[in-house]
Amino acid sequence: MAATMEKVCVLGSGNWGSTAGKIVASNAARLDDVASEVNMWVFEEQVDGRKLTEIINEDHENPKYLPGVKLPENLVAVPDAAAAVSGATLLIFCLPHQFLPRLCASIKDAAAPGARAITLIKGFDVDDDGIVLLSEYITAQLGMPCAVLMGANIANEVAREEFSETTIGYHHEANGKLWCRLFQTKYFRVAIVPDPVAVELCGAIKNVVALGAGFCDGLKLGNNTKAAVIRIGLLEMRQFTQTFFNGAGELTTYFESCGLADLITTCYGGRNRKCAEAFVASGKSWDELEAELLGGQKLQGTLTTIEVIKAIDKAGARGNFPLFTAINAICFEGAAPSTLFDNLVHDDALVSRM
Amino acid sequence: MAATMEKVCVLGSGNWGSTAGKIVASNAARLDDVASEVNMWVFEEQVDGRKLTEIINEDHENPKYLPGVKLPENLVAVPDAAAAVSGATLLIFCLPHQFLPRLCASIKDAAAPGARAITLIKGFDVDDDGIVLLSEYITAQLGMPCAVLMGANIANEVAREEFSETTIGYHHEANGKLWCRLFQTKYFRVAIVPDPVAVELCGAIKNVVALGAGFCDGLKLGNNTKAAVIRIGLLEMRQFTQTFFNGAGELTTYFESCGLADLITTCYGGRNRKCAEAFVASGKSWDELEAELLGGQKLQGTLTTIEVIKAIDKAGARGNFPLFTAINAICFEGAAPSTLFDNLVHDDALVSRM
């Protein structure tokens, strides 16, 4: 039934984008209602004297961003974004946050009528009117609904087909079920929830909590303290969602992979935790640490902390976010790391938020 | 108002018991309605040629179980249990599970009329009628209500006054509030919840999940997989509680320190995780590992797994506990550790439990 055939395009070919491409292409090959060939937009670059798109299409591997992992032969690298999207009914966004505006402009009207999107990008913007979710931005720019996929998903581990889980947040149940069929595998278990805003914000805000966890490590505090910071951080993540998005932030959503599982992973591994630990241990500035530990890349957690506090201040709500407020004070206001716990409210107040 | 003065007795003087004694004695000294002197029942033994009770009462330290920590001078070690309890209105149980029956027999009727208990002991029994909670046992033996205190509370970290949280589950709100006042300090934050069965079972069953986390480490799997096992484990902990105790197991309880925080701590540190990792890596038997790693002490997690499966089988409910069932199969039925994930049900089923 060609009339109802779905056509998939993955936008982005980094570490996570290539992994997502591997998953959906392997499923597309076996799903009757999805065209086998999956396009993946690849920002063209030279690798060992060859074009990256050529390497992917001939060797079926992405040696620069996902080395050592065999990609399905039906995953086709395309250097032109509009050409990659042409005729697609299912768009998967998985590229660096800052490239999103230019990409959206370049693919306007290229997709098929009735196309739907899903974003795997972690982050959000804040403009004069407040928080702008990337899913909202994609919908506004391209006029299509946009679901979100977030979870405890370190790309290399998923690409090695180690068991993990993920969470898809949907606005329309039918779309949620379709995305689930496209991403679900035996080693990658998908749960779908009708709470897309909470799922998307989990992916962004977890990095703020990870800074708090890293401060605990830098202070050489034990597992009790770190677990408390993770727990309170999860509650403030929900509090933030409920404060700025009416009706979003179901308690059950935070029990999904996008909630506590991704937060645990981020607070025990990950660059944000690592840099925050070094921030305490070394006393160096964030710029110095980004240069030394991240090769000059920007740290996501500190950028997100700035946006989170901007939003909280706009609502005059610092009192409701004692942990986020303390993390911001330690990051940017010269507060001593040991002050992390000074204003943590009594649990009864946190419990009452549930 | 001597008529309403509370009198506290701590039953047990191990690592956690001595720490609990430190906390409640420091609070008793400043609370108007609690007698300053707090008795601590100490199982008498010789340490460096002196009686342990003498050392505690003269040096105000427990060099055997909590070395290097100053104990309040109003914490009085008493070698005779009935004498320690005599006249007490608040009994704090914190001793090894297996000593509880003998202790209860020895202090029958020694407490003051209207006395209340709280248990910090992790574990439960299973008899022909099913699960017997230790709080239920204490109430049955001594005829007094028994609350529970559980959380991410590694004793040495709490004794060092590093920030942590804990959870008190109560049957009677007035008792919950009283226990909160007795245990709450600036570094030890107490939340009280009216879900005592769930709180008590969290403390026992977390060790089963910790075996699963240790298997992941032994299999050299990454943070994604371990976070998924922790997440699914938390859901099965709740499922277990709801299966065997009607009306217990509020979702919010698992967001407390006794839930996800204690589980995280146990799955990243702790002997159960460590032995499970070695079980996979070395292929040795549990007996060998207990001898090598625990000096012959019994591993709590494997004992609890036996009790948990016994209860699940009595209900013919293995299908609802794919993770617990797989952990038991790997521990005791010769299943390969890599089968841990084979029967993990689709998240939708787990979500539907919430």
Q: Quick one: A312 and A333 in the same domain?
A: yes
Measured in angstroms, the CA of B241 and the nearest CA of chain A are apart by: 17
Confirm or deny that A153 is annotated as ligand binding: no
pLDDT for A324: 97
User: Does residue B2 belong to any structural domain of this protein?
Assistant: no
Task: Count Cβ neighbours within 10 Å for each residue of B243-269 and write b for 16 or more, e otherwise.
Answer: bbbeebbbbbbbbbbbbbbbbbbbbbb
Q: Indicate the average pLDDT of chain A.
A: 94
pLDDT for A295: 82
Q: Quick one: B112 and B214 in the same domain?
A: no
Selected residue of A180, A223, A230 to mutate for chain B interface (largest B Cβ count, 10 A): A223
Q: Choose the final residue of a domain: B194, B215, B244.
A: B194
pLDDT for B79: 98
pLDDT at B127 over 90: no
Unique residue bearing structure tokens 């000059």 = A296
Q: Quick one: A177 and A266 in the same domain?
A: no
Q: Quick one: B156 and B261 in the same domain?
A: no
Q: Quick one: A244 and A161 in the same domain?
A: no
Neighbours of B108 (CB within 10 A): 12
Confidence at B347, pLDDT banded by 50, 70, 90 = very low
- Stated pTM of the model: 0.94
pLDDT for B322: 95
Measured in angstroms, the CA of A70 and the nearest CA of chain B are apart by: 20
Q: Choose the final residue of a domain: A176, A194, A212.
A: A194
Q: Quick one: B187 and B212 in the same domain?
A: no
pLDDT at B47 over 90: yes
pLDDT for A3: 56
Q: Quick one: B189 and B262 in the same domain?
A: no
When pLDDT is averaged across residues A105-112 and rounded to a whole number, the result is 95
Residue B192: CB partners within 8 Å, gap ≥ 6?
Answer: A348, B167, B168, B169, B170, B173, B176, B177, B179, B180
User: Does residue B3 belong to any structural domain of this protein?
Assistant: no
pLDDT for B19: 98
Using only the alpha carbons of chain B, give its radius of gyration.
20
Confirm or deny that B300 is annotated as ligand binding: yes
Measured in angstroms, the CA of A267 and the nearest CA of chain B are apart by: 10
d(CA B53, CA B289): 34
CATH of the domain at A179: 3.40.50.720
- Catalytically annotated residue among A7, A22, A206, A274: A206
d(CA B32, CA B28): 8
pLDDT at B1 over 50: no
pLDDT at A75 over 70: yes
When pLDDT is averaged across residues A108-114 and rounded to a whole number, the result is 94
User: Does residue A2 belong to any structural domain of this protein?
Assistant: no
pLDDT at A351 over 70: no
Structural domains counted in chain A:
2
Per-residue pLDDT tens for A165-215? 999 999 999 999 999 999 999 999 999 999 999 999 999 999 999 999 999
Confidence at B350, pLDDT banded by 50, 70, 90 = very low
What ipTM describes this predicted complex? Answer: 0.94
User: Does residue B204 belong to any structural domain of this protein?
Assistant: yes
Q: Quick one: A138 and A165 in the same domain?
A: yes
pLDDT at A47 over 90: yes
When pLDDT is averaged across residues A36-44 and rounded to a whole number, the result is 98
Q: Indicate the average pLDDT of chain B.
A: 94
Name chain B contacts of A158, Cβ cutoff 8 Å.
224
Q: Quick one: B111 and B164 in the same domain?
A: yes
Quote the distance between the C-alpha of residue A48 and its chain's center.
Answer: 30
Best CA proximity match to B195, nearest among B244, B138, B147: B147
CATH of the domain at A270: 1.10.1040.10
Domain carrying residue B268? 198-351
User: Does residue A1 belong to any structural domain of this protein?
Assistant: no
Q: Quick one: B128 and B219 in the same domain?
A: no
Name chain B contacts of A261, Cβ cutoff 8 Å.
227-228, 230-231
Confidence at B346, pLDDT banded by 50, 70, 90 = low
Q: Choose the final residue of a domain: A131, A159, A194.
A: A194
Per-residue pLDDT tens for A274-325? 999 999 999 999 999 999 998 877 899 999 999 999 999 999 999 999 999 9
Phi-psi region of B168 (alpha: psi -120 to 50; beta: other; left: phi over 0): beta
pLDDT at B259 over 60: yes
pLDDT for A318: 94
Confidence at B3, pLDDT banded by 50, 70, 90 = low
Q: Quick one: B124 and B217 in the same domain?
A: no
User: Does residue B143 belong to any structural domain of this protein?
Assistant: yes
**A351, B158: Cβ pair inside 8 Å?**
no
Q: What percent of chain B has pLDDT over 70?
A: 96
Per-residue pLDDT tens for B288-329? 999 999 887 889 999 999 999 999 999 999 999 999 999 999
CB A120 within 8 A of CB A298: no
Pairing, β A8-11 against β A38-41? parallel
pLDDT for A130: 87
User: Does residue B79 belong to any structural domain of this protein?
Assistant: yes
* B341: closest chain A residue by CA: A163
User: Does residue B32 belong to any structural domain of this protein?
Assistant: yes
Sheet containing B164-169: give its strands across: B75-78, B38-41, B8-11, B90-93, B116-119, B146-150, B164-169, B188-193
To the query of whether residue A206 is one of the catalytic residues in this protein, the response is yes
Q: Quick one: A262 and A138 in the same domain?
A: no
Phi-psi region of B68 (alpha: psi -120 to 50; beta: other; left: phi over 0): left
